[in-house]
Every structure is written in C-alpha cells, then in structure tokens.
Structure 1
Amino acid sequence: MNVAYWIIASLLAAFYLYGGALKAVRSRDGLRPMMAWVDSTPMPAVRAIGLVEVLGAIGLVLPPLTGIAPRLALAAALGFVVLQLGAIPVHLRLGDRRLALNVTLLLAAVATGWLATTWL
C-alpha cells in the first residue's frame, strides 16, 4: 500500500505543482491556450487556485516523507477531491465536455486519500 500511495501521490503532486505554479505566475493570455476557463474567472481567484494547488501538492508529499503531521496528506487529497468536484461543473457550464482529465484527477485524489488512511 505504501508503494501505491507514493506512486499515485507523486504523480498527482507533480501535476498539481506544475499546474498550480503556472496559475500563480502566468498572465491570463499565457494561461488561455491551456485553460479556457480563465476568461470567466477573476485573476485573483486563478492565482488563489494556483496557490492552493501548490500547497496541496506539497501536503501530499512532505508530511508523510518527514513523518511530521502525516494526516495532512489525507487533508490534501480530500482538498483535491473538493477542487475537482468544483472544477467539473465549471467546465460543464462553459460547454467543455472533455472531462477525462478532471475525472482522472478526481479518481487519483480519491485513491490517494484512501491510501493515506493506511498509516493513520
């Protein structure tokens, strides 16, 4: 179970670290080709989502790695579940029916959260 957690959590953390960093630093024009939803979202909200994603990615890896407050990994995984449960309706509202990535991220976050409970 520990190996499975590290595989899924590392991939999830890498994805959110990259995406979150982009949202935190790039302009609206730089994000638009990858994320059409930024046109309908205020930039402070986009930046906040990016910051949450970066902090969540750190929360998936650092606490279990150091052994300090490992329950934070479960909180980070649940945060990503909530994030995707909010992202899917936004994509649907904007007419984007390509939800495979969102559903994959949602399932990976659920699996990571479940695997994180093995050491609680």
Structure 2
Amino acid sequence: MNLALWIAAALLAAVALTGGITKTFVPRKKLAAAHGGGWTGDASDGFVKTLGVLELLAAAGLILPAVLDIAPVLVPVTALCWVALMVGAMITHGRRGETGLVLLNLAYLALAAFIAWGRFGPESFS
C-alpha cells in the first residue's frame, strides 16, 4: 500500500509539475490555441499564472514534506487541495463540452483522493 501511495503521489506530482510549468511560463495566447487550453482564452493572465504556481506548489507538496520529513501531514492536505482543484477543472471543461478532459480530471481527482485517504488513514506518516 505504501508503495502504491508513493507511485500515485509521484504520478500526480509529475502532472502538477507539467501543468504548473506550462501555465506559469507559456504565454496565455499560446495556451489558448493548444488542445485543452481553450479555457485560458476566457481567463486573465494573472489567473492562469496563479493556477500554474499553485500546481507547482502542489507538485512540491505531494513529495517534499514526506521525503524531507518536515510536516509530512502536508502530503494528504495537498492531495485534498488537488481534489478541489480538479472539481473546478471538471466544471470548467464540462461547461465547454470537453468530456474527455473531464474524465482525465476525474482520474487525477481519484489519484488525489487515494493519496489523501491513504496518508490520512492506514499509511499515515505519523
């Protein structure tokens, strides 16, 4: 179970890191032209960059607290925050009729919920 939680956290951290780098450093107009990025055309630069920074923080929060053994409770807290972020992403993509992206966000949400459940429950770091 511990290994499965680490794998899930690593996968989700990779997703968060990729999305965070993209949203933080790629121009919004370029993002809007990419598949799945159409929603950025309706958002401000600041909003998109803020989401990017939050995703970068999530990538760090899913791994570093446990690896460094500094406030490891932040791992499941970060996972719960990711669940909330994915609910927002699912609503956004759902309104745009992007069913495939809603399902992808649902998969990310499930990974995050598994991490939160596992790290708050049977495989907590405390």
* 1:54 counterpart residue number: 56
Which amino acid letter does the alignment assign opposite residue 50 of structure 2? Answer: A
* 1:68 counterpart residue number: 70
Moved over 2 A (4+): none
- State whether residues 75 and 119 of structure 2, in contact with CA within 8 Å, keep that contact through their aligned partners in structure 1: yes
* 1:102 counterpart residue number: 105
Aligned residues: 120
CA RMSD of aligned residues (A): 1.1
* 2:40 counterpart residue number: 38
Quote the sequence identity (%).
Answer: 37
Distance 1:31 1:115 in 2: 34
- Shift of the alpha carbon at 1:105? 0.6
Distance 2:69 2:5 in 1: 15
Scaled by the length of structure 2, the TM-score of the pair is 0.90
Scaled by the length of structure 1, the TM-score of the pair is 0.94
Distance 1:91 1:78 in 2: 20
Q: Which moved more, 1:78-87 or 1:23-32?
A: 23-32
- 1:5 aligned onto 2:5: yes
- State whether residues 29 and 41 of structure 2, in contact with CA within 8 Å, keep that contact through their aligned partners in structure 1: no
Distance 1:3 1:48 in 2: 32
Q: Structure 2 unaligned segments of length 5 or more: list them.
A: none
Which amino acid letter does the alignment assign opposite residue 66 of structure 1? Answer: L
**Residue 115 (structure 2) aligned to one of 109, 112, 116:** 112
CA deviations 1:79-120 (Å, max 9, x no partner) are 100001111111111222222211111101101111212224
Which amino acid letter does the alignment assign opposite residue 11 of structure 1? Answer: L
Distance 1:47 1:113 in 2: 26
- 1:17 aligned onto 2:17: yes
